[in-house]
Structure 1
Amino acid sequence: MGLIARLAAGADAPVFVVVGAGGRDAARSLVVMEGVRVVDHPRAAALLVIVGRPTTALLRPMLLVHDQLPTPRATLWWPTGPGGEDLVAALGDVVVGRPCDRAGLLAVFTELVSGARSSDPPALADIEPAEWRGVGPYGQGGTGMTGGHPYGLPLAGRAPDPDGLELDQLPLQIGPLFPLLPPGLVLHLGVQGDVLNTVTVGENPYTPSPGDPGLGPLEVDVFHEAARAPVTVATLELARARHHLRWAAGALRLHGLHAKSRQLALLAESLTVDQQAAVARVVGRLVRQWGLRAAMSGVGVVSPADVAGQAGPVARASGSVTDARIGDPAYDGLGFEPVSHDTGDAWARFRQRLAEATQALGLAERAGDRVRRAGPTVEGPRGPVAVGTPAPGEALLALLPSLLAGQEWGDAMTTVVSLDLDLEEIAAATTVDAEP
């Protein structure tokens, strides 16, 4: 092994992550894994790590991302359940491993950079994104002043902006594998400069097609289980606190605070019921960050009318005090009262979840081994969950076009992340509703 190869083998392994069905929890482990660096663009990665089972709708985006990795490259698959083998086979020589297998991942990286492992070949044929050769009066795909696809690339059209002026507008799709968005979210945008002029939500790629593997496991499975069987209050509240801290770690990563994000993610992974004081100290420091406050205040305001009749942290950040734990006998005597904020912006939602995480640990510690009896509605980390009802995020997903239209790019990403959407949870609830 040459000097450069030895140096490369000793560096952190740069990975780009594709989250399939049931893979969201395991994918988070990569962010805090020693010797691994999760990157935001496939061109910066050496390894493509597929976590969970890919669906039919994720197959082509997955292949496109694979071919954007520079050579040498390799692909790992961490299945979280049966199914998906035929879809992953389209990538060729894939290394199959256990979820969160750090040693296996680093071994593949070392083999790759040392030359002991051959680079993955392209998964797709090298064809133009659009027909352009010989098209149009000059044979380069353009027609008229701004029409066609010169050299295969789309040109901006014209569309009115919010002030009624006709400006250039570029059609753009982001997702379903865009790292800044929740896994699976697809947005069709009309972009004028850095402003999103039009927004449409695309199809949910986790919605099962014939032959697709089943969905799950989901982060909220323990809350669904509580609707069918007894579960201790401490189990539910610890899961709630862990969820909110994981979400906050992702929000910090979005805003470039990678060290703080990693610190919070590590705390979430090792969380125990007696850590309320430690979490409260971290939360206190975060809510005093003036940079975060400036970046989130006034961004993505959700009005009380937008969430009328809903519950969950987003609604409570807009002034609601609805919470399924109110009146639940399992919480009697624990001192539970809903936390709420009233500004309804991304900053309120950030503080709301951090406050609920701290509160949840206090409830878990005071509850001891108290058991909650099986009940039809359980307050999950995103809102009420119950078998046969829509996921809490479904109504928020429908709000996206009106919330994002007119926002600048950075504010739009902040808004989307602040809503804590889970496309697989939404698809799973829809699938249950559709069953006879």
Structure 2
Amino acid sequence: MAVGALLRLAGRADAVVYPAIGGGAAARVARLAHAPRLRMARSIREATVLLVAGELRAHDVQPLMRLHDQLPHPRATLCWGVEPGFLPGRAWALDAGADPLPLLHDIQQRLFRGELESEPDTLPDEPPAPWQGKGSHGQGGEGMMGGRPYGRPMPMMGKEHRDGLMLDALKLSLGPFFPLLPPGLALEFELQGDVIQHARVLSPPWPDPGPGAGLRLAARLLELLGLPQLARRAAAGMAGDGPALLRRARRHGALLAIPPRLGGVRERLVCALSGTPASGEDAAPLLGQLPGLEWHEALLLINSYDSPALLRIAGPSVVAGAPAEAA
């Protein structure tokens, strides 16, 4: 009886989805995020269904498979407008023009009722980088540091960019499906504490042309500024909604929350919401601006540039031999 009650409650629950956004899908995923009884998870560990939408590049497949294997059981994948080649015979598929909401709810409920088998891992259960037996104590590196046990680099001491202190430096790769970066963009950072020391592009972002691109840019910034409701309104809005959203953003203190040294971010947010072109400042020096910024400042700066500006600095190719972590 208790199990039946839990299943009934689960049937009324929101579908919890993690979106892996590929090329040409940003607008429709943004509209879907505004749908009732649907929650877009900010972490893959919170989701039940992985929603793969849009075109994929060859170098996106490995990060996508790693992302899939981090979904907790029971789990399923829905490919929306893309062939499920990375998960043959397992993933659900749906045309790009179809509404995925009913199927997302059906998949989640059938998983909870045990009617669907949870998807297995796509990758072998082994560390992505060899480390066992390396080092004098088998710890994976030299001395007490170095190496990549379980694929995670151990921190190494270095001079901190801001104050010149000797602190642990940690390399971190994010993207191309990290929700706090523009879709498709993958970056490698070197961090000491929360301060960026170095950054490089591993994968360029997807172009995001057409109506509403400015509002989607504004939505990413508003989400980072702690205004999720306003961000959802912006992501699902049309060009004419921008002035009203700008007034709301001012009332909620969004512009005041941007650090003073990021005046360009503030200007680009106002332009994105008001539908006016930015001053023409190029993103070419972006990677040079990141060192010395704190983590939240770096995210605001990156997300304040539109995809054409980011593509100018990222270029069409991927850094060889440096696949991004799935996130």
SS at match of 1:59: helix
Over the matched positions of the two proteins, sequence identity in percent amounts to 33
State the AA in 2 paired with 1:298: P
Question: CA offset at residue 27 of structure 1?
Answer: 1.7
Cα distance between partner residues in 1 of 2:236 and 2:141? 52
Q: 1:187 maps to which residue?
A: 187
Question: CA offset at residue 261 of structure 1?
Answer: 2.0
Cα distance between partner residues in 1 of 2:79 and 2:52? 5
1:293 counterpart = 2:241: no
1:70 to 60, 72, 77: 72
Cα distance between partner residues in 1 of 2:20 and 2:148? 30
Cα distance between partner residues in 1 of 2:308 and 2:107? 30
Task: Pick the structure with more helix per residue.
Answer: 1
Question: CA offset at residue 250 of structure 1?
Answer: 2.6
Question: CA offset at residue 31 of structure 1?
Answer: 1.5
Matches within 5 A, 1:315-354: 344-354=263-273
State the AA in 2 paired with 1:352: C
Q: 1:159 maps to which residue?
A: 158
1:15 counterpart = 2:10: no
Question: CA offset at residue 425 of structure 1?
Answer: 6.9
Cα distance between partner residues in 1 of 2:224 and 2:260? 17
Cα distance between partner residues in 2 of 1:41 and 1:422? 27
Measured at CA, do residues 193 and 415 of structure 1 come closer, stay the same or move farther in structure 2, by a change above 3 Å? same
2:271–2:278: 8 Å Cα contact kept in structure 1? no
Question: CA offset at residue 77 of structure 1?
Answer: 0.6
Measured at CA, do residues 194 and 23 of structure 1 come closer, stay the same or move farther in structure 2, by a change above 3 Å? same
Matches within 5 A, 1:62-211: 62-79=64-81, 85=83, 88-90=85-87, 92-99=89-96, 100-150=99-149, 153-162=152-161, 163-204=163-204
Q: 1:400 maps to which residue?
A: 286
2:170–2:190: 8 Å Cα contact kept in structure 1? yes
Cα distance between partner residues in 2 of 1:426 and 1:72? 41
Question: CA offset at residue 345 of structure 1?
Answer: 2.0
2:219 to 246, 249, 252: 249
Question: TM-score under structure 1 normalisation?
Answer: 0.64
2:22–2:52: 8 Å Cα contact kept in structure 1? yes
Question: CA offset at residue 152 of structure 1?
Answer: 5.3
Cα distance between partner residues in 2 of 1:57 and 1:45? 24
2:36 to 34, 37, 51: 34
1:14–1:44: 8 Å Cα contact kept in structure 2? yes
1:265 to 229, 235, 244: 235
Question: CA offset at residue 2 of structure 1?
Answer: 2.5
2:219–2:230: 8 Å Cα contact kept in structure 1? yes
Cα distance between partner residues in 2 of 1:203 and 1:355? 30
Q: Deviations over 1:5-25 (max 9, x none)?
A: 222221111111111222222
Question: CA offset at residue 404 of structure 1?
Answer: 1.2
Measured at CA, do residues 151 and 25 of structure 1 come closer, stay the same or move farther in structure 2, by a change above 3 Å? closer
2:24–2:55: 8 Å Cα contact kept in structure 1? yes
1:43–1:68: 8 Å Cα contact kept in structure 2? yes
1:183–1:422: 8 Å Cα contact kept in structure 2? no
Measured at CA, do residues 299 and 112 of structure 1 come closer, stay the same or move farther in structure 2, by a change above 3 Å? farther
Measured at CA, do residues 151 and 23 of structure 1 come closer, stay the same or move farther in structure 2, by a change above 3 Å? closer
